[in-house]
Amino acid sequence: MGVKRLSAPLLPNSGFTIVEVVFALAIMTLAFASILAIESGSINATTRAKQMNIVGMLAKNQMVETEFAIQGRTFEEIPKEKSGTFESPYQDYRWQTKIKELSIPNFMGMAGGSSGEAKESTGGGSAAGGDMINQLISSNLSKAIRQVSVTVFWKQGAKEKSFALSTFWVNLNHEISLTGQ
């Protein structure tokens, strides 16, 4: 007797239909497209973060250099505006510093209440005395405080982008003038 082979019966529904294959490919294509879009966004965010890290570092370094330039000098000796480009490897970035005097507002107008109450609260009891004190304070603060701004510029595509950093510096050696000028 011979060995009888058992074979699986052929089923008419074995394998995948073309519709099932196309549907599976469509799902895979959508999944891969989504993954690529997310990865592209991640790369763009990383590039932007690196760019802003470099710009922040350059602005901070320029602010420190400006502080060293001011140290030991009066505000009148320092140029109001200065600009330049950074050294290699950051030659694609440029900077600008601006030093400006602050305009101190009228404190008398901020005292609250009617103008008569504000004048009485200044001490001396007279409007002229209050105005004189206000002018002295405003004048001396304006001469002793400066706003220093550092702006870093760079090209991104066809546009020029900028990042600004500001601080306030006080000249503690400023002589107080009692004449209001």
Instruction: Tell me the two tokens of residue 34.
Output: 């989504």
Asked if the structure places residue 80 within a domain, the reply is yes
Q: Residue 52 corresponds to which amino acid? A: M
- pLDDT bucket at 177, cuts 50 / 70 / 90: low
Q: Among positive and negative, which fits the CA dihedral 120, 122, 126, 130? A: negative
Asked if the structure places residue 49 within a domain, the reply is yes
Give the count of domains, the chain.
1
Alpha-carbon Rg for the chain, nearest whole angstrom, is 36
pLDDT digits (tens, 9 = 90+) for 126-165: 556 667 777 777 777 777 888 999 999 999 889 999 999 9
- pLDDT bucket at 103, cuts 50 / 70 / 90: confident
Asked if the structure places residue 70 within a domain, the reply is yes
- pLDDT bucket at 105, cuts 50 / 70 / 90: confident
Q: What is the pLDDT of residue 106?
A: 63
pLDDT digits (tens, 9 = 90+) for 25-41: 999 999 999 999 999 99
Least confident window among 7-11, 48-52, 109-113, 134-138: 109-113
Give the C-alpha separation, 156 to 119, whole Å: 55
pLDDT digits (tens, 9 = 90+) for 60-77: 999 999 988 888 787 778
Asked if the structure places residue 93 within a domain, the reply is yes
Tell which wins on pLDDT, 43 or 139.
Answer: 43
Measuring CA to CA, which residue among 48, 86, 85, 71 is closest to residue 148? 71
Asked if the structure places residue 1 within a domain, the reply is no
Asked if the structure places residue 3 within a domain, the reply is no
Asked if the structure places residue 179 within a domain, the reply is no
Instruction: Tell me the two tokens of residue 40.
Output: 């592209």
SS (H, E, C) the chain: CCCCCCCCCCCCCCCCCHHHHHHHHHHHHHHHHHHHHHHHHHHHHHHHHHHHHHHHHHHHHHHHHHHHHHCCCCHHHCCCEEEEECCCCCCCEEEEEEEEECCCCCCHHHCCCCHHHHHHCCCCCCHHHHHHHHHHHHHHHHHHEEEEEEEEEEEECCEEEEEEEEEEEECCCCCCCCCCC
pTM for the model:
0.64
The whole-chain average pLDDT of the chain stands at 81
> Which domain does 142 fall in, by range?
18-170
Asked if the structure places residue 79 within a domain, the reply is yes
